[in-house]
A and B are shown apart, each in its own frame.
Chain A
């Protein structure tokens, strides 16, 4: 019985985007983008500012019409059935868009009323997030810290128990602790059967999604599970370290067979052009350049490595 219901839901909650394009004046913000999000999936749009992420969100939440292509959300067409979409999706825009002069509680009640429901009716869905906000429920939204604003915005987007949740850069400008908590919340929402499309400029968050689309300059460069994307990366990356990081970057860039040199936390990620690259040769070169405490070892490929090589 439950199984049947699951199948019915599975048909309803996916997102299909086919050849969507959108230009502002002469600038193509989104260029023939195609992807599908499966029902119940946590799907990430990963890319920097200006990649076209927000435009895609606005089209899917019916706030903007595409120039070309078509898209459906929960089987509803984003143009023809826009009203049905608006009542069945939750949207958390990138810019904080709640009423700054209303308190936490007033904002929640306001959004509940707009969607014809009450805070009590869907409380179970937001309970574990709202508990953290409750001590501040009489505080005006404008006076909340970044992490708290983000939690309130998520509650407001969930208040009408949407089937599909759109989160546009929910963790931008948010500290690592709040970011981690936020992703734990998303995982719990996913377990409740909500399909989630989330965008982020933080590449380390990509690995927390079921599948991701890497996007830059309006074009999707790759779609797959994050683990598959990193596993399929064929180049060998080395972690390199010495006492003088800035000098190391400079000297590695002057090493004749270098392919790419990027700082990665405490190490430099180095890729060589040659298949028969010998770390010993590089070690010797760096010693000649007076580097000390040199470490050269194989690195683990991250999404950010792949992204920078696209």
Chain B
């Protein structure tokens, strides 16, 4: 057992750090939403970023994707400083959220073209990617339909693929499966697994605690700080419970 843990830590030490966060802090007026968090995410890892509503998750994530400036502390994402190189950060990461992902009034193909352009792909690349992506998702029959008319699960799968158009090293997924039916939710996670095996780092938030079990490592934020960070297995052992749901309930109770 000890040997196994040792082995795991050696593997992790050898891994390339793709996100390095040190004492990252964000203050709004006299309210500190993120209180000096420190953690690393490794290449090819599925990293679950959990926390209660209001714990500071969204604020932390906004800093990591370069759309909010840290008050203090440092974050390096894909080798780039989020405070001074935020534009480059945006070019080198993928982002998908449940709230905003694709344009409902554009077709599948138009969305791909639009986001390909945003990410700076050439016309030729966009054309190739469109064909490949539509084929992989088996969306040939709906490629010229408006995205708004697609079932939510399809939209989410398409949106994930669009976030990967420019082959980013890391992709941020903000509650990607909220409200999605149980079968599609699982298909979505299989897409995540496949992408992680190709070496893409996945940084994901979710309120489904069964999905927390699918992550390599999970952090749980409570009241602006990271209260726990480990593999799901170790977290369950540490808190002497049988599920990630119980870990979460133990840690995040009585906040807000």
Contact = CB atoms under 8 A, between A and B. Distances in A.
Given A49-B152, A176-B245, A203 B213 contact: no
Contact of A265 (B181, B182, B244): B244
Q: Which of B54, B175, B182, B233 has the most CB of A within 10 A?
A: B182
B132 to A, nearest CB: 22
Interface in B187-211: 189-190, 193-194, 197, 207-210
Given A50-B152, A175-B53, A265 B210 contact: yes
B52 A49 contact: no
A263 B214 contact: yes
Mostly helix, strand, loop or mixed at chain A's interface? mixed
Contacts of A246: 190, 193-194, 197
A177 B248 contact: yes
B136 interface: no
A147 B232 CA distance: 25
Interface string B212-256: 011000000000000000001100000000011100110011011
A304 interface: yes
A277 to B, nearest CB: 22
Nearest to A178: B53
Interface string A145-167: 11110000000000000000000
Contacts of B178: 172-173, 201
A249, A264, A265: residue with the most chain B Cβ atoms closer than 10 Å: A265
Nearest to A181: B253
Contacts of A169: 179
A175 B152 contact: no
Interface string A240-280: 00000110010000000000001111100000000000000
B15 interface: no
Interface residues of B, number: 40
Contacts of B193: 245-246, 249
Contacts of A47: 181
B179 A148 contact: no
Contacts of A179: 207
Contact of A180 (B194, B210, B249): B249
A131 interface: no
Contact of B179 (A49, A249, A263, A266): A49
B52 A148 contact: no
B255 A48 contact: no
B197 A175 contact: no
A177 B255 CA distance: 9
Given A145-B54, A145-B256, A245-B214, A177 B183 contact: no
Interface string A11-23: 0000000000000
Interface in B151-201: 151-153, 175, 178-184, 186, 189-190, 193-194, 197
A246 B194 CA distance: 8
A102 to B, nearest CB: 20
Contacts of A262: 182-183, 186
B44 interface: no
A198 to B, nearest CB: 15
A266 B213 contact: yes
A249 B191 CA distance: 12
Given A246-B193, A249-B190, A307-B182, A176 B207 contact: yes
Nearest to B156: A49
A265 B213 contact: yes
A147 B256 CA distance: 8
B53 A174 contact: yes
A308 B189 CA distance: 16
Contact of A263 (B53, B189, B207): B189
A137 to B, nearest CB: 14
A51 B181 CA distance: 9
**Residue among A146, A202, A246, A307 with the most chain B CB within 10 A?**
A246
A280 B152 CA distance: 40
Interface string A290-305: 0000000000000010
Tell me which of B51, B184, B255 has the highest count of chain A C-beta atoms within 10 A of its own C-beta: B255
Given A145-B256, A177-B255, A308 B182 contact: yes
Contacts of A148: 53-54, 256
A176 B248 contact: yes
A54 B213 CA distance: 30
17 contacts: A47-B181, A50-B152, A145-B53, A145-B256, A147-B52, A147-B54, A173-B53, A173-B98, A175-B207, A175-B252, A176-B245, A177-B253, A178-B53, A179-B207, A249-B190, A263-B186, A308-B183
Interface of B: 51-55, 98, 151-153, 175, 178-184, 186, 189-190, 193-194, 197, 207-210, 213-214, 232-233, 243-245, 248-249, 252-253, 255-256
Interchain residue pairs A-B with the least CB separation, the first 9 = A145-B54, A48-B181, A146-B53, A265-B210, A49-B179, A175-B52, A246-B193, A147-B53, A265-B213
